Amino acid sequence: MAPSRESKLLRRLAAHLGRAIDDFALIEPGDRILVAMSGGKDSYALAHLLQRLQRRSPKWFTLVAVHLDQGHPGYDGTPLEAWLAENGFEHRILHRDTYSVVVEKIEAGKTYCSLCSRLRRGILYSAAQELGCNKIALGHHRDDSLETLFLNLIFTGQLKAMPPKLVSDDGKNVVIRPLMYCAEEELRAFADEQRFPILPCNLCGSQDNLMRQEVKRLLGGLEARFPGSQNIMLSALRNVRASHLLDTALWKQAGLAVARDPLERWDPDERAGARPLDPPAGGVP
């Protein structure tokens, strides 16, 4: 029997997952969901929590775990495949040598991630169609979404994060992210508790200079200085004030003619004890 501490962590993560599913209608009766398994802590946690929900939920849905062997040197997916079998998952292991394609196309010193992710995404989309899946579940979490927000804000001039639910460009696949309210720190602790057989994530070589890593360090520094800041940022994504942004198309969509200035200004010192999902009183004009 698992220790009570592990049980509390499991229940907390399951509650976050359930809340995201309810908030965004991520899972509906009759869904057949492809669970993308990278072999990292997040995908293991996603599979574990979805299987737990499947056994308890009145919403009937099915899962099929899919792992992609991309041909990285030194790759060994045996531990992951054994875990899936031992835990009763319907699963598929796909073998596609995208690594050679990426190495050929990307010049030395450049990052592989963008092309690699596009190739992987295309393979998963095709697999979903072949397996009769109407949704693809990915293991992105709160920290991933905040990092994407900052990357877009700093480098692309767009105010957007990582959505919990989206439709692919071809309209044939719906991607869901049930872990969107889960913190990476808790997922890491959960992986340790469950002793998931993690596959190494550096098979393509060390790329510590990635902009995402820089943003991760930035957010980590803010969290260390202002504990709870990442949960408050997550709340900000759930409490958008269209009238206080500069997007004219958004103003037209919301039917705005003028922004209303709140009577009270927000003092962050007075809100130091706010709960993580509480919005600032009156917003920040």
Domain identity same for 205 and 257: no
User: Does the pLDDT of residue 279 top 50, yes or no?
Assistant: no
Is residue 154 domain-shared with residue 255, that is, in the same domain?
no
Tell me how many domains the chain contains. Answer: 2
Task: Assess if residue 217 is contained within a domain.
Answer: no
Same domain, 94 and 205: yes
Q: Quick one: pLDDT at residue 206?
A: 45
Is the domain of 263 the same as that of 177? no
| Whole-number pLDDT of residue 264 | 53
In a domain, 14, yes or no: yes
Residue 226 lies in a domain: no
Q: Are residues 109 and 192 in the same domain?
A: yes
Q: Quick one: 142 and 45 in the same domain?
A: yes
Expressed as residue numbers, the domain containing 88 is 4-212
pLDDT at 283: 42
Query: Alpha-carbon distance 88 to 54, whole Å?
Result: 12
Task: Classify residue 51: in a domain, yes or no.
Answer: yes
Residues 197 and 255 grouped into a single domain: no
Q: Is residue 235, in this structure, part of any structural domain at all?
A: no
Residues in contact with 104: Cβ distance below 8 Å, sequence separation at least 6, in sequence order? none
Residue with token string 């965004």: 24
Q: How far apart are CA 260 and CA 58, in angstroms?
A: 44
Burial of 70 (0-12, 13-18, 19+ CB in 10 A): buried
In a domain, 233, yes or no: no
145 with 259, same domain: the answer is: no
Q: Is residue 277 part of a domain?
A: yes
Four-residue CA torsion sign, 86, 87, 89, 93 = negative
Residues 172-224 pLDDT 10s = 889 999 999 999 999 999 999 999 999 986 645 445 457 888 999 999 999 99
Same domain? For 73 and 191 the reply is yes
> Is residue 273's pLDDT more than 50?
no
Same-domain status, 90 and 41: yes
80 pLDDT above the threshold of 50: yes
Handedness of CA 50, 55, 56, 59 (dihedral sign): positive
Asked which of 194, 212, 230 is the last residue of a domain, the reply is 212
Residue 222 located in a structural domain: no
